Every structure is written in C-alpha cells, then in structure tokens.
Amino acid sequence: MNEQLKLLTALQKIDSIILSARLRMDAIPSAIASHEGPLKNAESACENVRQNHADLEKKKRDKEIEIEDIKEKINKLKQRTSGIKNNKEYQAHTKEIEKAEKELKRNEDELLSVMDSIEGASKALEIERGRITAEKSKIETIKKDLEKEVVKGAEEIKKFKGERKKLVEKIDGDLYGEYMTILKTSRGVAVVEAKDEACHGCDMHIPPQLFVEIKSSDEIIHCPQCRRFLYYVKPEETK
C-alpha cells in the first residue's frame, strides 16, 4: 500500500475515534433531557394532588364554619324555647330545632367524608413527593455517570489529537487538504476499504479493471462516485 495512503488510513481511524467521542459528548444534554420526562410527570402529578389537597382543606374549613353557625343557631333556638307560651308555636319551634339538628348531622357527616378524603390526599401527596425524590435521585446518578463520560471523552480526544498531529506532519500538505475536504463533505469518512468490487463508503460497484488497479497499484485512487480514498486489504492481512 502507498505509504501516504497508509498514513491517511491511520488518520481516518483516529478521526473516527475523535468524531465518535465528540458525538457522544454532544448527545449528553439530550440524554439528560430524555430522563427528565418521568420527573416532570411526577412533578405535574404531585401538583395536581397538592391542589386537590388544598381544595379539600378549604372545604373542611368552610364546613367547620358552617357547622359552628348551625350549632349557634340551635343554641339560640333552644334558649327561646322557655319563652314560648302556646302549643302551636312550641310544635313549630320544635320542628325548626329538629330541622337544624338534621342539617347539623348532615354537615357533620359531610365533614367526616371530607376529612377521609384529606387523609387519602395526604397519603397520595406523600407518594408523589416520594416519586419526585426518587426521580431526582435517578437523574443525579445519570448526570454523574454522564459527567464521567464527558471527562473520559475529553481525555480521549486530547490523547488522539496528539497522535493525529504527529501523523499529519508526515502527510503531504496537498493530500491532507484533499483529505480534509472529503472528510467534511462525507460525514466524517474520507478513507474507506474497497472490498468485493465495491466502495464501502457509498456502496457503489467498482469496475473490475479499477478494482484490479486498487489491489495492485501503488497509486492513490478515489471512488468514482463519492471521491473517497480507497484502500485494499489483502486476505492474508485480515487473518
């Protein structure tokens, strides 16, 4: 294989590693965001339960005030009982007290029902808050793991950039410029293997005569379709 092509092949491997590391690092914010969905759902559910709990507490306070007003009304009615002189008025007064007492009983039952609902809402609120805590803990763990990936990726890029610089110094300037142009326009892959009479960059069929040249010639040959540099690996080299 042409010595310059060997260098380009080695450079491509390094650039692929660097590109892969950068892509992993660039994907980290999205990876974090993808794990925030369950937390947002838990926070939304918790807010709904909290609002329901607050509404029930207000209903309880209103009901307690209403009950106190009815009790006060009953006390006043009972205080007036001794002043009633005739039986007709007494019966009507008694009915009014009974009606108020029934109203009191109904409101007290409603209060008990509201208090039961508050107890249920309190338990639900505790569960939802627990979910939020658990989801936040998960995200923190994920963030720490991803932060380690960032450090690892940065170290990897730094290491291979050093190796890359040494390689570039050995490559012909014009050839390197051509390599970089192809790299930028070909999704980060400028050097590919020619195998089974096909370019493994664009999958185009390589004419038999050209494939023979790639296998036997010491010249640098491009794919007629995608213009990537082509190299051939002899079968014994893959063993």
Given a cut of 90, is residue 162 above it in pLDDT?
yes
Q: Please state, in angstroms and rounded to a whole number, the distance separating the CA atoms of residues 112 and 163.
A: 76
Identify the three-state secondary structure at position 67: helix
**Would you say residue 143 has pLDDT above 50?**
yes
Q: Name the DSSP letter for residue 227.
A: -
Kindly state whether residues 47 and 156 are assigned to the same domain.
Answer: yes
* End position of a domain, from candidates 151, 168, 185: 168
Contact between residue 11 and residue 179 where contact means Cβ atoms under 8 Å apart: yes
Which pLDDT band holds residue 28 (cuts at 50, 70, 90)?
Answer: confident
Domain endpoint, select from 137, 168, 199: 168
Question: Which residues lie below 8 Å from residue 77, measured CB to CB, with a gap of 6+?
Answer: 93, 96, 97, 100
Residue 16 lies inside a defined structural domain of this protein: no
Same domain, 180 and 147: no
The per-residue pLDDT for 212 is: 93
pLDDT band at 239 (very low <50, low <70, confident <90, very high): very low
Choice between 236 and 100, residue whose per-residue pLDDT is larger: 100
Q: Which of 168, 187, 202 is the last residue of a domain?
A: 168
The pLDDT assigned to 17 comes to 92
* CA separation, residue 137 to residues 36, 38, 46, 119, 140 (Å): 11, 12, 17, 27, 5
Q: Identify whether 74 is part of a domain.
A: yes
